[in-house]
Amino acid sequence: MRALLYDQPTSEQKERRRRAVRVGRLLRLLRAHGILKKGPRTHRSQFTTTVRQALAAMFGAADDTTAQLARLAAGPKASSLRSRVLERIVLSHDDSRR
CA–CA separation, 75 and 78 (whole Å)? 5
Q: Residue 58: is its pLDDT beyond 60?
A: yes
Tens-digit pLDDT profile for residues 37-57: 988 898 888 999 888 888 888
Quote the pTM value. 0.58
Question: How far is 43 from 22, CA to CA, in rounded Å?
Answer: 17
Q: How big is the CA angle at 40 (ends 46 and 38), to the nearest 5 degrees?
A: 30
Average pLDDT over residues 53-71: 78
pLDDT: which is higher, 11 or 88: 11
Boundaries of every domain in the chain: 2-47, 49-97
Let me know how long the chain is. Answer: 98
pLDDT at residue 82 is higher than 80: no
pLDDT at 60: 77
